[in-house]
Amino acid sequence: MSDINKLVQFIRVEFNRSLKLFPLPNKPEYLYDPIKFALKGKGKRFRPILIHLSGKAFKTDPDIIMKVSLAVELLHCFTLIHDDIMDSDNLRRNMPTLHHQFDTSSAILAGDGMFTISQLILNSIENKPDAFMQHYNETVLEICEGQALDKHFEELDDISIDMYTDMVEKKTGALLGACFYLPAVISGKSNDEIEKIKYVGRQLGIAFQIQDDLFEIFEDENVMGKSLGSDIFSNKKTAIAIEAKNRNKTEWDSIIRQFDGKDLENIRKFLLENNVKDKVETLAEHYFSSAYSELLALGFDNDSDTYKFFKMIQGRHS
């Protein structure tokens, strides 16, 4: 295992240990049982890892870094739970989604509770700059805006790639940006630096989401831990769907009409033959490159853990 792989694995184990030890009340069970169930999911912990690496680079207190990573992972889980209700998704990370395992009311409330606990964890950090919570909640509001655009786009026919990247920058980029800049805020970096740091994370987030759109069609269902093609099936405007329509609207619409939500063969064939897969891969590559060059401009070198972790994300297979 390479050094960066070992480091990432070490952070993941430490993070999971902290999450497991995190004190949650037992009662009322109606609130805390679903929360505990949600936190048992085997997330890849990309966000906590990014926070730990960024915190190390910005020399942030390790105890604070652990708190920030717990808060952000709870926030992330909360948004997934509410998104899954809105999208009627039944499977996530190889486990039933929360509203499917319990019911919609429990899942709404569990999400609200996790969001509140996330705030409480951050509130408990002493001597933090006033701007810290403000930055955090601005990020959350942007995630809400991204989800709103995503839902709104379902009803629209003509979504451009620019509208799409604006949406995923909010829905996914904002939080990856936060993972990268929150430790910097704690460490007292200047506003100018924080804006640059934020930008790197956001570019990474856009790349990450475009990659996810590709996985949703071309990955192995068991690796993904959820049924594939569901975004296409529910008329989500993914990078794939937009570029496919740009290439040949009539044929794409016909393939989608015939799609049963399971058999991806015709969809994959179309995307390969019409170079849509290539084009979307190039788009992801563009945002990864932008993230790398901005990272280097910030003084990270290509031997740094953060740079290597970005490369690891780019090379992931789900």
User: Residues in the site for a copy of itself, rule: CB under 8 A?
Assistant: 28-32, 82, 85-86, 104-106, 108-109, 111-113, 115-117, 119-120, 123-124, 126, 130, 133-134, 137-138, 140-141, 144-145, 147-149, 151-152
Q: How far apart are CA 126 and CA 138, in angstroms?
A: 20
Q: Which C-beta is closer to a copy of itself: that of 25 or that of 315?
A: 25
For the bound state, the minimum distance from the C-beta of residue 106 to a copy of itself, rounded and expressed in Å, comes to: 8
- Give yes or no for a contact between 174 and 142, defined as CB atoms under 8 angstroms apart: yes
Beta carbon nearer to a copy of itself, 28 or 315: 28
Helix or strand or coil: residue 43? Answer: coil
Q: How far is CA 182 from the centre of its chain?
A: 16
CB neighbour list of residue 270: distance below 8 Å, 6 or more residues apart: 244, 248, 251, 252, 255, 276
- Closer residue to a copy of itself in complex, CB, 166/219: 166
CB of 157 to a copy of itself, least distance (A): 16
Q: How far is the CB of 112 from a copy of itself (least distance, A)?
A: 6
Least separation in angstroms between residue 161's CB and a copy of itself is 18
The answer to whether the CB of 136 falls within 8 A of the CB of 122 is yes
Is 78 or 310 the residue whose CB approaches a copy of itself more closely? 78
4/144 with CB nearer a copy of itself: 144
C-alpha pair distances (Å), 88 with each of 51, 231, 234, 240: 30, 11, 10, 21
Return the axis-axis angle of helices 161-168 and 191-218, rounded to nearest 10°.
110
CB 162, min distance to a copy of itself, A: 15
Give the residue with the Cβ less far from a copy of itself, 90 or 119. Answer: 119
- For residues 87 and 160, what is the distance between their CA atoms, to the nearest angstrom? 22
As a residue count, the chain comes to 318
Q: Which residues of 19-38 are buried (b: 16+ CB within 10 A; e: fewer)?
A: beeeeeeeeeeebebbbebb
Closest CB 78 distance from a copy of itself, rounded Å: 8
> Shortest approach of a copy of itself to residue 26 CB, angstroms?
12
Question: Which neighbouring-strand residues pair with 159?
Answer: none
Give the nearer residue to a copy of itself in terms of CB position, either 27 or 257.
Answer: 27
